Structure 1
Amino acid sequence: VPVERQSGSSLFGRARLSKAGPARIRAMLYMAAITAKRYNPHVKAQYERLLARGKCKMSALGAAMRKLVHLCFGVLKTRQPYQADYAVAR
């Protein structure tokens, strides 16, 4: 979860990732998101779309981490292997 730094009328600071949740899982998701933004077309498209809308890199990376969690949950729930063309199959 990105945490935005703002204080009344002062200037906005850079967003950072929240430290809530297990640090080990957060670290694994961070590294997986770094790799996925380069090689997974769905994560890459979302990351670049958020950057184009003016989000900072860390917020976009947090969204990539969340997308990876959703993809993993979908694979575990359906018990089917990941399909890169899942959006096209609809």
Structure 2
Amino acid sequence: LGSLWPLYKSCTLLPTSEVKRLMHYFGQLAIVIVFVLLISGLTLLLQYLESFSALFTSNYGQLILLKLLLVSAMLLLGACHKLFLVP
């Protein structure tokens, strides 16, 4: 989310050809960053939880499930934007 403001300002200040190039590069970079974040988050989750059932029974596990739901919604929104709005 922190990169959205600079991207917005770039859209208003740069020529269209540069904006297209910048958006394509940002999309490629974002895919790699999201993948690394998901892998590191999963690794930390496996270290903190004692068992898979603790994901549903402990307060920490339930909070993580809520966080995963919110992150999934953001990823879905980003995927829809990348695949449908910015071909």
TM surpasses 0.5: no
Larger Rg: 2
Question: Given the two structures, how large is their TM-score scaled by the length of structure 2?
Answer: 0.34
Which is helix-richer, 1 or 2? Answer: 2
Which is strand-richer, 1 or 2? Answer: 1
Question: Given the two structures, how large is their TM-score scaled by the length of structure 1?
Answer: 0.33
- Structure with greater contact order relative to length (CA < 8 Å, sep ≥ 6): 1
